[in-house]
Each structure stands twice: as C-alpha cells, then as structure tokens.
Structure 1
Amino acid sequence: MLDRLNQALDHIEHCIGQPEPREVDVAELARVAATSEYHFRRLFSALAGMPLSEYVRRRRLTLAGAEVLDGRRTLLEVAVRYGYGSGEAFARAFRAVHGVGPGEARRGGATLRSQPRMSFRLVVEGSSDMRYRIVEKDAFRVVGPSTRVPLVHSGVNQAIAEFVRGIGRETLDRLAGLSDQEPQGIVSASVNLDPSRAEGTELDYHHGVVTGADAPEGADVLDVPAGTWAVFTSTGPFPHALQLLWRDVFTQWFPSNPYATRPGPEILRVCHVTPDGKEAEAELWIPVERTSPAA
C-alpha cells in the first residue's frame, strides 16, 4: 500500500512540475493508489498530518517561489503557470504560504518557505500490537440526539461534552432499553466528516444506541446500511488513548492490511471508565471494505 501511495505522490509532482502544469485530479490519484477517493483522502491526511489539498497547494507554491526568485518569467506568467487566474489571487496565495508577496520576494532579501516533497515509509517499532476483529453487520440505525460539532484532535471535545451534559438521564435510560445488538449500550457515532479531517472542520455527532427497533417518535435517526466493520479495542488514559488509537488505525493498520475505509459512521463504545474518569476501555468501530479477495 505504501508503494502505491508513493506512486500517487510521484503523480502529484508530475502534474505540478511539467512544462504546462495541470490540476491534480484526486480521482486519478486514488486510481494510482488502487483505492477509493474517499479512503485515499483520509489515509493521506492521517499519514501526512495535513489535508491533501493543503499539501498540493504548498508544493505548487514552493515551485512557484523558486520561479519568482529565478526571474526569467514575469510574475503574471508564474501566476498563470501555477493555476492562478490573476496576479492578485496569486499574490494572496503566495503571501499565505511564504509570508511575503511575490513582488517583495523578487526584489531580493526575502526568506521563503519550502514544502519538501513527501514520501511515505514504514517504520517498524514492534513495541505493541493492535487488537481488532472483523464483523459483518446487517443494516441498523443509530437512535439518539445529534448535533453538529467541530473536530478536535487532542484533548476533550468541549462541544461534545456540553452537548452530552444536556441530555437528561431519563432520555439516556429510555434509549438504553432500545439497544439490541453490538455495539451494546450508549455509543457515540461520528459521520459526515470533512474529507481532510482537519482540526476545526465539522462533523455530525450522534449520542444514542445501535438498534434494529423502531425509533421513538421525534427521535433523531441515523440509518446505516449493511457492511463490514473493523473493531479495535483500546485501554488507557481517557480520552488520549482513544485519540492515539484513531491515529494508529489510519497510519499503521490500514497500510498493513487489505482493507480500506468506506462511507459510514465511526462508532465509539466506552465499555468501562475508572471511578476517577482518567482511564477507560473502549471499542472503535470503523466501516471498511476489503481491497483484495479473501484467501
């Protein structure tokens, strides 16, 4: 998988570095990587630490910066060469990356920023393993209150914490009675995340139960089609261990296993929390599909 991802990175360089640079087609990158566009965007973001669009923008403006300093093309020619329709649009984008405008940079003495060309490689640590199982599930629904919240990569998501505090105990007890399948009990489901998974982008958050039963009148319902799920188990500091698990699933497990993500909610079930709230055992359910036939 990493070889294919690196081939996709080579394709980015081919698109932006040829004599007549062209737009980077994400669908084509996904074909080169032999995966879906959905999975490619998410895997790239997890491995690179930035959205694909941001990496392409930084690489394009790194090359543009070298041409601005070179001086053989006019600034407008450089702007058009790298896909900007006007000198003003190019100047804004250039300043956002380099901290100075292209005119200032050309006059000399300016310090520009460079986005190095990325490549992915496997670092074998071997210090721990990942506990997971593959589950086939029929269609189900997640029933429970929902809201739109920002994505937080580290620490407590205050928007979610405040939302959950506002759900009454009576409501949670009534919902718990509807739970009739795995994952059991009250769960958190995140869906409709931005493909970049950048911190601060928004997602739909559901706090409820997984069930096949009819939902109470007026309840929020998330219908989930039948499919395959990878279920990961985590034990450790809460919520830090869970956030590390999310990272490791995308940076370690997916590149090493014949599965890719597919559209659907990511479901978190907290199985046990210590009395002081500092440690927790939890399950993370990720919707997946095989990328190669089973042996």
Structure 2
Amino acid sequence: MKIIHQTINWLEQKMEEAVRNEEVVQVTGYSFYHFHRLFQQKVGMSLHEYVRNRRLTLAAQRLIYTDERILDLALTYQFESQEAFTRAFRKVHGLPPGKYRTLMRTLLEKTEEVEVMNGWFLSGATPQNFEMGRDFQVVHKGNASGYLRSIKPVGEEQFGTVMQQFHASKYCGKRLKLSCFIKTEDIQGFAGLWMRIDAKDGDTLQFDNMSNRPITGTTGWNYYSVVLDVPEHAGAIYFGVLLQGSGMVWMDEFTFEEVDEKTPTTNLKAPDNMPAEPINLNFDIELN
C-alpha cells in the first residue's frame, strides 16, 4: 500500500501536467503494466481513470469559484480541446461546464455553511469538541466532501468521529473491505479510517482504526482501507473516520466491497504471532 500512497501523492502534483508511462515506471520502480494492474486492484480504478476524474473535479471547483474561461481550464487539465473537455465533463457531471457553473453557484448561495450530513452522526469520547459538515471547495470527487475538525483545544487523548452503523446480516461470513479518500490538515494526534464488527450481544469481534498506521500532520488526498472478517454471528457494523487530538480531516468516496482471502485483514484484535497449532506440550523443546 505504501507505493500506492506515494504514487497518488505524486499524481496529485501532476494534475496540470502530462503523465507519461516512463515517469510512472521511474516513480514506482515497477513496469507500467504491472503497476497499472496493482493500482486498479487496490484503488478500484485504472491510473488513467483516477487522473481523469481528479482533473474533472478540480476543473469543476474552479468553474464554481473562479471566472476562468472554459477553454483555459480544458487546456490546464490536459484536454486537447474545449470540445473534448465538455464531453468528458458532461459524462461525469451530467451538464456542460457553462451550465454546471451557473447551477452550482445558484445552489451554493442557498446552502448553509455547516450542514448536517444525512446518515452520519458525530460521536467519540468528547464530541462536543468537534464539528462535522460538508465542504464544497475541498473535494476529491463530485460536488462535496465530508469533514471533521476540532473546534476547541483538545488533548491527543480526546477524539471525535464521523460515523454510521448498519446491520451485519448482508455480510455475515464474508471478508469486507472499507475504503475512502482522506485529506488532513495540521493533525496533532492522529486521524484514521475505522471499522468495527460487533456480535449481537454487543461484544466487539473485529476492529481496526489505523492506529498502527496513523495519518498525521498535513496530507493531500490519498486512498486508505481497512479489511475485516464478518463472523456468522455478527450483529452490527460500525464505521467512520476518527480524529484524535486537534486538526481537520476531510473524507470522500466511501466504498464497501467483498474481498477474498487473498486480501489480508487489518484486524487489530488478532493476536500477533499466534502459532497455527499448540507446541511443546511435553516441555521438551530446548532453548537456543
């Protein structure tokens, strides 16, 4: 996953430049075709699709918040013509760029600065010290992202989370991967994607909050995932993004997918270095 993170960070700096296959080889150390397959397997889209979608999202933001000409935006984001840009933009956003600019500016004038995000709720140890909402300017794809930020001085032991919960019945007996894109600013503590599987009696069966691979400081948009097994007797699945300590975290494009056993779990409740079978039952093994 580290090479995926490094490559996405590099791609984010190349949105206004051509991305050549030779450069991908130099950055990743893999052949282009091998890395292309790896990227698609991990992220769920091709390298080309990722770059194209990000360019269209960045162009959409500039349509709303600047008065730049559509032709200039098309060329900035590496489209060969305004016509090609318009076709691609309409396919993703459902409107040509000019109409999109007019409609979104009108809609945003009527939108409150902080909105309740449908389906999501704020929780954690000290939720009163945090705020969640939608951001229409810092976006990975589409028209908005979700955010969580500290609004009072908080210690690194205090945390808030944006979360949801749902019944586990659809996924019982399966391995489940949760992924999303996350961006952070000045995280003093850590941020992470998390998921928890609970039994019907409320006991926690599986859990991962990325505490062993934390997101800290200021980071650009990048791809993160957690993978857990959902036991047959599971009752509920909880998930979200947490912020422990101060700072701000944005989140976008949550995805759930079933994966096979080739995808390792990230379960933090699994004991480390547990042997497959009992050993030294007669106490005869000598120390080296």
Structure showing greater Rg = 1
TM bin, normalised by shorter chain, reads 0.3 to 0.5
TM-score (norm 2): 0.40
Give the TM-score of the pair, scaled to structure 1: 0.39
Instruction: Report which of the two has the higher share of strand.
Output: 2
More helix by share: 1
